[in-house]
Structure 1
Amino acid sequence: MTAVLRQHAEIQFAEELEQLAKADDRQRPANWKLSPWAVVTYLIGGKLDNGFEVSAKYIGNRRLMEIAVATVATDRALLLFGVPGTAKSWVSEHLSAAISGDSTMLIQGTAGTSEEQIRYGWNYAQLLAHGPSENALVPSPMMNAMKLGKIARVEELTRIPADVQDTLITVLSEKTLPVPELGSEVQAARGFSVIATANNRDKGVNELSSALKRRFNTVILPVPSSEEEEVSIVVKRVHELGRALELPAEPPALKEVARIVRIFRELRNGQTEDGKSKLKTPSSTLSTAEAISVINNGMALAGHFGDGVLRAADMAAGMIGAVVKDPVQDQVVWTEYLETVVKERAEWKDLYRAFREQL
C-alpha cells in the first residue's frame, strides 16, 4: 500500500501517547485518554520517569498550553487566536489527539461552510424514499463528537458566515443539538468540547457575535518571542518534514536557518534585529510556517536540481515568493531591504547576489 503523505497526530505519535498513558497516574476527566498534566507534557515535551523522551510539539510558553488544556477540562470551548502561522491548527490537532485519541472530528471553516456541515445533513435518496429517519440522517463531525464525548475541531472559525457561526451557540451553551425533523436531539457525552481556531489577518473575516464569544475562552498564540526560539521551531519542523517527504538533501546548516528567520523577523517587526534601523513592512504575514516552507522548498531544489547542499540560490526564489505578495508595494519594500540591510552585511554577500539575480 502507498504510505499516506501525512499521518494524523494520534498515529504519528502513537508511541509517545502510549508511554504517557502508562506513566500517567493523575486524575483524568471523563472520556480523556490522558490527564491534563500528561496532555501538556505531550505538547511541550519532556523526559518521563522511565527515561522515555517525549518530543516537543509546541515550542513556547508552557503556561499558555496549561490554560488551553484547563479550558477544555471545563465546560468552556477553546478558541486559539493569533496571526497566521502561530501553530493554532497544529496545537488544536495535538490537543485533540492527546485528549480524545482522535483528531479527525474536523470542520474546515470557509466562506462556503453551511449550517448542515456543522449540524447534520441528509441522504437525499433515503429522505425521498422513506422520509426523515435515523437512516437518512448524515451526522456532522460535531454531532459525532457529541455522541462519542470527543473533541470537535473548527478551523478558521471567522471565515464562516456569521449566521452559520451562531449555529454553535446552542451546542456550546446547552450541550445539545436538536433534530426537529425527527423530534429528537443529541446530547453531548462527557468529554465533548470544541476547539476552534481563528486569525486576525484575513481579509473579509466575519466577526464573532458577542453571544458566541462568551462561549469561548480565548488563548492568543503569539509569534515566537526571540530569534533563538523561532530558529529552534524552524529547525525542528524542517527536519521532520524533510524526513516525511524524503527530500534528497542534507538538513540545512543552522546558519542558513538563522539567516532566513532573521529576514522574516526584521521585515515582520519593521526594524532590524538590533533595533537600530526602521524598516517598511510588506503586506505578507511572514509567519514561522512560511519560513519553514521557504527552507523546505530550497531543500527540494538543492536535492533534485543541485548537489544536495542548501545554498543561498536555493532559498532565493522561495523567499521572494513569501515576501512579495503585492507586486508593486511589496517589491519596493523588498528592494529597499536588500539595498539597505542585506547588502551591508558582509557575511550575507551570497544571499544578496542570489536575491538580486531573482529580481
Structure 2
Amino acid sequence: MTDDNQQATNLLRPHAEQLHAAELEALARTDTGARPPNWRLSPSAVVTYLVGGTAGDGTVITPKYIGPRRIMEVAVATLATDRALLLLGVPGTAKTWVSEHLSAAISGTSTLLVQGTAGTPEEAIRYGWNYARLIAEGPSREALVASPIMTAMAEGKIARLEELTRIPSDVQDALITVLSEKTLPVPELGIEVQAAKGFSLIATANDRDRGVNELSSALRRRFNTVVLPLPATADDEVRIVTQRVESLGRALELPEVPSAADEIRRVVTVFRELRAGVTEDGRNKVKQPSGTLSTAEAISVITHGIAMSAHFGDGVLRPSDVAAGIQGAVVKDPGSDTVIWTEYLEGIVRERKDWSDFYRAARRGLN
C-alpha cells in the first residue's frame, strides 16, 4: 500500500481523487481520447469514470453516478466549452457528489471549493487580504489571499461552488465578470488574473431554494443548467443506497452485518411512496410529509441502522434498527408530519405481508 493510499484509509472522508486514485490512474494511463487543455482525462474517459465501465488495461471502474449516461455526457461537454455548469435538483440528487467527481476526474483535485451560505462574503469568490501584511506593507501580491476560484483560474482547473442560491445576490454578481470575461480584476494592485485554459466553474443549486436568492438573468445566462433527477426506479435507488452504504461502512469501520438488502428496499419503498404521494403499485394515495425524503437521507437511515444493529443489537439489520431513523426523516414538523406518518403506518404498512415487525417497531416509536 502506498503512502497516499495509507493516508486515505485513515481519513474519515477522503476526497474523490484520493479514494479512487487507482481508477483515475488506470484511466489516464490507457486513455487515447483527445483531452481539452489542462484536462487529466478525455471527456469520454471522464464519463466512464462517472458512470462506470472498464479502463483500457481491464481495471474495473465503479459507477459514481447511477442514472442516465446522457446527463453526464451533457455535463462533461459543457465543461469542455467556455460555459460554466449549474447542477440543479432537489436535495439528495447527488449534485455535490457529481460536482466532486467531475472536478477530480478533470483537474485531479476537488478541493477548490466555495461553500455557499447566507453569510458567504464576496472575498470567498474574488480574493481577500492577509491583514497583518496589508497593514505592515500595504497592498501587495504577498498580502493577497486568493479565493479557490481565483486559484482555479490561475491554474486552469475546475472550481466548485456549492448552494449558489443561498449566497446573497450582490455576492453572486461577483461571478459575472469571472464567467463572461474570464478575468478577475485586482484594482488595488492594478492587475488582473486571467483564466488559464481548463478553467471552469461547477455550481450546485437546490430546486427548493427558489425564492431564497434567485439568480439574475445575467448570471443564469453564464451557466448551462443540467437537472439531476431523482432515481427513476426503485431498483436504481436501491442500488445507489446499497453502494453508498457499503462505502460509508468501510470508511466508518462499522462492523459487517449480514445482507441488508431487505431493509434497504423497505426504506427505499417508504421514501418513494411518501415522496410521490402514491404507493408503488399505484392503488393508494398517501399524504406527503414536509421533508424531502431524499436518497441521501435513505443512505443515512440505513447507515444509522447498521450502527444500531452492530453495537446495540444482534448484528443482523432488522426493522427495529431502521424504524426510528425513518421516523426521524419523515417527521420534520411534529404536528402535521406525525399525523401523516401515523396514517401511512395504519393505512398502508399495517396491511402489508411481511411488514408486521416494521409496523410494530414504528408504532412503538410513536408512543
Normalising by structure 2, we get a TM-score of 0.96
Q: Is the 8 A contact 2:165 2:210 kept in 1?
A: no
Deviation (angstroms), 1:26: 0.6
TM-score (norm 1): 0.98
Aligned partner of 2:347 among 313, 334, 340: 340
Q: Return 223-232 or 47-56, whichever deviates more.
A: 47-56
Cα shift readout 1:63-97 (whole Å, capped 9, x = no counterpart): 00000000000000000000000000000000000
Q: Distance in 1 between matches of 2:220 and 2:324?
A: 41
Which segments of 5 or more consecutive residues in structure 1 lack a partner in the other structure?
none
1:355 lines up with 2:342 in the alignment:
no
Residue 98 (structure 2) aligns with: 91
Work out the CA distance in 2 between the residues paired with 1:247 and 1:205. 38
Using the TM superposition, give the Cα deviation of residue 204 of structure 1 relative to its aligned residue in structure 2, in angstroms: 5.8
Asked if structure 1 preserves the Cα contact closer than 8 Å seen for 2:38 and 2:107, the reply is: yes
In structure 2, the partner of 1:308 is 315
AA of the residue aligned to 1:230 = E
Report SS of the residue matched to 1:78: strand
Mapped to 1, the partners of 2:263 and 2:230 lie a distance apart of: 20
Q: Do residues 27 (structure 1) and 34 (structure 2) align?
A: yes
1:51 and 2:58 correspond: yes
State the Cα deviation string for residues 293-330 of structure 1 (Å, max 9, x = none): 00000001111111211111110111100000000011
Distance verdict in 2 for CA 1:23–1:178, change over 3 Å: same
The amino acid of 1:217's aligned partner reads N
Q: Please, which of 248, 259, 262 is the counterpart of residue 241 of structure 1?
A: 248
Aligned to 1:137: 144
The structure 1 residue matched to 2:219, chosen from 192, 212, 217, is: 212
Aligned length: 359
Q: Contact 2:258–2:315 at 8 Å: present in 1 too?
A: no
AA of the residue aligned to 2:66: I
Aligned match for 2:187, one of 159, 168, 180: 180
1:2-151 pair list within 5 angstroms: 3-151=10-158
Deviates most, 309-318 or 198-207: 198-207
Superposed CA RMSD in Å reads: 1.1
Aligned-residue sequence identity (percent) comes to: 69
- Distance between the aligned counterparts of 2:258 and 2:40, measured in 1? 35
Per-residue deviation, residues 92-139 of structure 1 (Å, max 9, x unmatched): 000000000010000000000010111000011111111111011011
Q: Flag as ranges the 4+ runs of structure 1 deviating above 6 A.
A: none
Q: Distance in 1 between matches of 2:210 and 2:156?
A: 35
Structure 1 Cα separation of the partners of residues 231 and 67 of structure 2: 7
Asked whether the equivalents of residues 158 and 199 of structure 2 are also in contact (C-alpha less than 8 Å), the reply is yes
Cα deviation for residue 252 of structure 1 reads 3.9
- 1:203–1:81 distance in 2 versus 1, CA, 3 Å: closer
Moved more, 202-211 or 162-171: 202-211
Paired letter, 1:8: H
